[in-house]
Structure 1
Amino acid sequence: MAQPPVDYSEKRDFIRMRIDAEVSLLHAGQVISAMCIDLSSSGMQVQAPQRFQVGDRLEVRIDSDHAALAGLHASTEVVWIADQPGGAQKFGLRILAMH
């Protein structure tokens, strides 16, 4: 049985996991609360009330609610942006290093 063709936007090198988790972004001495929409082994999609530019470096923290599981702390770089209504912004972050 033939499979329907897969749209190119669905072809990814890394599997993305939708997580909808609160994250803290550290940029230029500020801590910004944001929402991580999805996460892969190489990056993440985030929505924040503050605007960033491609090339900005951000530290990202996702805290864990479970004592047995460590949270995530990563150095990242903004690789794409999409403005949202009301001044918010969605953007893609490439993970440069995990801490």
Structure 2
Amino acid sequence: MSEHERDYAEKRDFIRMRVDANVSLIHAGQEIEGVCLDLSSSGMQVQAPRQFSVGDLLSVRIDSEHAALKGLEAETEVVWIKADGEQHETQRLGLKILKMR
């Protein structure tokens, strides 16, 4: 089995949860606001208002709306990109979670 086929097969091994939550993406010292569309134990799909590249490393923060619950913070890598919007002004990003903080 090729690495690509294995990667595709492994995508279905994780349950995805629809989230639709505000997210902060930190790249090269710059913070960009986006929306987390779905989340699994190994990654997430995020909509971002600027251009990233496959291989970019992003710190991701999703703040909790509840004081008793801690938000999510993770180090991620962009593994796929899809242009979004009529003018391709946004991107949907597939982010692989490398490390949770």
Q: TM-score, normalised by structure 2?
A: 0.86
Which residue in the other structure is 1:96 paired with? 98
Counterparts of 1:27 and 1:98 in 2: how far apart (Å)?
A: 16
Counterparts of 1:70 and 1:29 in 2: how far apart (Å)?
A: 23
Deviations 1:31-64 (A, max 9, x none): 0000000000000000010110000000000000
Which residue in the other structure is 1:60 paired with? 60
Aligned-residue RMSD, C-alpha: 1.5
Percent identity between matched residues is 67
Which residue in the other structure is 1:81 paired with? 81
* Residues 25-44 of structure 1 aligned to structure 2 (within 5 Å): 25-44=25-44
Aligned residues: 91
Q: TM-score, normalised by structure 1?
A: 0.87
CA-CA distance at 1:28 after TM superposition? 0.8
Which residue in the other structure is 2:3 paired with? none
Q: Secondary structure at the match of 1:61?
A: strand
| Structure whose alpha-carbon radius of gyration is higher | 1
Counterparts of 2:94 and 2:84 in 1: how far apart (Å)?
A: 14
Residue 45 in structure 1 maps to residue 72 in structure 2: no
Point out where structure 2 has 5 or more consecutive residues left out of the alignment: 1-7
Single out whichever of 11-20 and 52-61 deviates more from structure 2. Answer: 11-20
Letter of the structure 1 residue corresponding to residue 28 of structure 2: A
Which residue in the other structure is 2:4 paired with? none
